[in-house]
Amino acid sequence: MSEKESIRLQKYLADCGLGSRRFCEKLISAGRVKVDGEIVTALGTKVVPGRQSVVCNGKPVAQEASVTLLLNKPPKVICTSDDPQGRTTVLDLLEDLPERVYTVGRLDFMSEGLIVVTNDGDLAHALMHPRYHVPKVYRVWIDTPLGYHQRPKMMRGIPNQGETLRVLDIDEGKHTKQGVEYTITLGEGRNRHIRRLMEHFNKKVFRLQRVAIGPIRLDDLKTGEWRRAKPAELKLLRIAIKEAKGLTK
């Protein structure tokens, strides 16, 4: 086996569209992957694409042409490939797509807006890596305005459930028919990040929408619709990832 040609098994599985590298590591550890007919559970295993047989859950896997989609997730849709409760998933909105893809990161059940769906393991890994935080922009509508000192507190950081929740930026807000609307920029996004901040200040969230991931914007993409990312958009996104990596060094 050529060391230069070989790659880690979890990366290969991610490149084949089975999920994020972290998810693929779980598949390997669970004994659901075979290489050349033998079950492999060691995460350090390497394979040579195209020269070795790789099977997951009894089905051969192979690298597909790279595809990255931008989707406007509606509320009440979940960001998983399957749901035991039978709820609509993001992948259900992509029924006619021939490639096997997965979501990069998540929006919670009631949240909506921009989400990246891809089979590009390198892109997904970079976007989800805990050290590299590509800024993400959200719009949130709440019942009453934030107090004078609450916005600065959000930027400094608020302890919550063993974590520190902070925002990179938050505007002054404006009154709309849907509630008081704020635009919030996050660096590191934690589970239910904005909702937990609003709960901390006893604010009721009427609506939460992600409108941008780095340079990629939701713009006029309608709810439930998707499109393929343009090469220029992917180039800008990779530049943003590279810049985010540079800030962590």
In this chain, the answer to whether the domains covering 68-131+216-248 and 136-213 adopt an identical fold is yes
The alpha carbon dihedral of 137, 141, 142, 144 has a sign of: positive
Residue for token pair 């996050």: 186
Lowest-confidence segment of 51-55, 119-123, 147-151 by average pLDDT: 119-123
Of the given ranges (1-5, 88-92, 103-107), which has the lowest mean pLDDT? 1-5
> Is the distance from CB of 117 to CB of 102 less than 8 angstroms?
yes
Q: What is the pLDDT of residue 30?
A: 94
* pLDDT-wise least confident of 62-66, 76-80, 134-138, 187-191: 62-66
Query: Is residue 198 pLDDT above 60, yes or no?
Result: yes
Give the residue, 12 or 183, on which the prediction is more confident: 183
Burial readout 73-100 (b: 16 or more C-beta within 10 A, e: otherwise) = bbeebbbebeeeeeeebbbebeeeeeee
CATH numeric code, 136-213: 3.30.70.1560
CATH class, domain 7-60, is alpha beta
pTM of the model: 0.80
- Three-state DSSP class for residue 88: coil
State residue 241's pLDDT score: 86
Average pLDDT, whole number, for the chain?
90
Across residues 85-103, what is the average pLDDT?
87
Listed by start position, the domains of the chain span: 7-60, 68-131+216-248, 136-213
What pLDDT, on a 0 to 100 scale, did the predictor assign at position 249?
Answer: 52
Confirm or reject CATH 3.40.50.620 for domain 68-131+216-248, answering yes or no. no
Predicted pLDDT at 157: 96
Interatomic CA distance for residues 167 and 212, integer angstroms: 15
Catalytic residue numbers, as ranges: 108
The mean pLDDT of 138-142, rounded to a whole number, is 98
The rounded distance, in Å, linking the Cα atoms of 106 and 121 is 16
Question: Residue 146 is encoded by which pair of tokens?
Answer: 């934030």
User: Cα 29 to chain center, whole Å?
Assistant: 23
Identify the pLDDT of residue 159.
Answer: 95
pLDDT-derived band of residue 247, with 50, 70 and 90 as boundaries? low
